[in-house]
Amino acid sequence: MPLIQVFSQGETDFRMCPACGIVFRKEFPGPAELEEIYRQAYSEARIRGGETDQESGTFASKAYARYLAARVARRGQRVLDVGAGTGELVALLRRSGLDADGVEYSRAARDYCAQNRGIALSEDFARLSPGSYDLITMIEVIEHVTDLRATLSGARSLLKPGGRLFVTTPNRRNIRALIEKGHWREARKKFHLFLFDRASLERHLSLGGYARVENVAFAPVTKPGAMYWLAGRAMQAASMPGSLCVIAHRD
């Protein structure tokens, strides 16, 4: 079945699989290119300036930490943040009474976390114990991974029976994406390898071995200010949020 070109202007490198609806780059950046992208993103100056273009920022991290601690996880449960960046969310979850760890690809980000937060992040899943986590979070991360199936199944293997995977990712069917198409800011980020709508996200979580996928209709609003809160809630109420948010359950 032939792939479908998604955008006619802007980022024209995206293709869609007509069978599953997932949108992905026809040409992925190579390992050396990705390494350089993340090395530059996590320079000391960009980290301290809050301009890594990889992390959600302090306001968003605090919003997610409050939400996860209050509504998703119970005090003392083990949580793994995948794509932890400089470890801000891991640190906040620990302060909330959760036993939190993190996984981060970027060595520069891991080094910053160790030196400034006193937290050692793992480079990958390899040294983590199977079936050891109650909750895994992937906040604005799934669109970055080079091997989607392996990442999702690997995360599943780390969950305890009945454990959950909390995922957020840019929604390719939100208003800005539909208007801007290939000029949409999330499509212009070269490290965004996949673009999801709700159906394709749920399908690939199911293919990754998750028994049930639960939509979170009213996820945390991740920017400060009343106008952002009102706009965010309005888009969520209209089922066109800027980011998709789901909880996938391991059986």
What are 195-218's pLDDT values in tens digits?
A: 999 999 999 999 999 999 999 999
Task: Please give the share of the chain, as a percent, with pLDDT higher than 90.
Answer: 84
The band of 150, judged by pLDDT with boundaries at 50, 70 and 90, is very high
pLDDT in tens, 122-138: 999 999 999 999 999 99
The band of 54, judged by pLDDT with boundaries at 50, 70 and 90, is confident
β-strand partners of 15: 5, 24
Q: What is the mean pLDDT of the chain?
A: 94
Quote the CA–CA distance of 173 and 175 in Å, as a whole number.
Answer: 7
The band of 1, judged by pLDDT with boundaries at 50, 70 and 90, is confident
* pLDDT on residue 50: 81
pLDDT in tens, 65-87: 999 999 999 999 999 999 999 99
Domains of the chain are: 4-249 (3.40.50.150)
* Cβ pair 142, 213 in contact under 8 A: no
* pLDDT on residue 35: 84
Q: Exposure of 106 by Cβ count < 10 A (0-12 exposed, 13-18 middle, 19+ buried)?
A: buried
pLDDT of residue 166 exceeding 90: yes
pTM recorded for the entire structure: 0.95
**For residues 85-95, b (16+ Cβ closer than 10 Å) or e, as one string?**
bbbbbbbbbbe
Number of residues that make up the chain: 251
